[in-house]
Structure 1
């Protein structure tokens, strides 16, 4: 084996991952593409009574009712602007390994770009933000900081119980 071949085999190439980039206000965020099921245009939603303001509603998708949250409203208290680049992004929501993945819709502004990078390039940003555990590490690039949004950490137990009840309502059962 030549010296050049030995050097090439000794260096392990960085594993690059694809991320969907979007904005909340002027700030850039990213979802790992393997968590994304589909990117749709913004669709009409059925509101959920007495849900938190950032729960945008539900819609029917391929025979299932999918809950949707507005990430801008969740993060900064302002609903996403209705732009042509605002998307309804379906993600595979799985809060832990024991729970099967379920579809969750996210309303995301300017969700039109992707970036391919090494996930290890994202670094902790030095704050323990317990109010927003879904906001993960950050990565610096030519456009500034890009923050990783972790889908598994989007919903707390109370909202998860509201959007994904353990016991679905039995619509055929007669009231007593």
Structure 2
């Protein structure tokens, strides 16, 4: 028996590696659809997170001002500046800065003080606001219109309350 190499069966290619162009195009199309659906939701979540962060910063600044006025036994003034970058909340006692807080540039904080003749919030050591003032801050985000606005209210006895209310 003379074996020749011409009579051997052909072996099929068993090492097929890689993807076809069609498979790659279908995968990319599915990923594009998923990203297109998820992108608006992610931007809304980021806007809501900015509103929550700004609200927490504002509440912390107001509570610190109240405590500092009691501890220092002098008036502490809260100054909100929205004309600088970044926007800041400064606490001052006796004309000197105690602390400063930065707020995101995309956050919009609207301050309403009653009576309207009062321009800055002043915490007194007797745990009250100067001029019997009350304040309402409304916090929104300029990057999105679908976020839930928050309000921080400050009573004349210096109690700080947070609400999911207001309009942007």
Report the TM-score, using the length of structure 2 for normalisation. 0.25
Structure having the higher helix fraction is 2
Structure having the higher strand fraction is 1
Report the TM-score, using the length of structure 1 for normalisation. 0.25
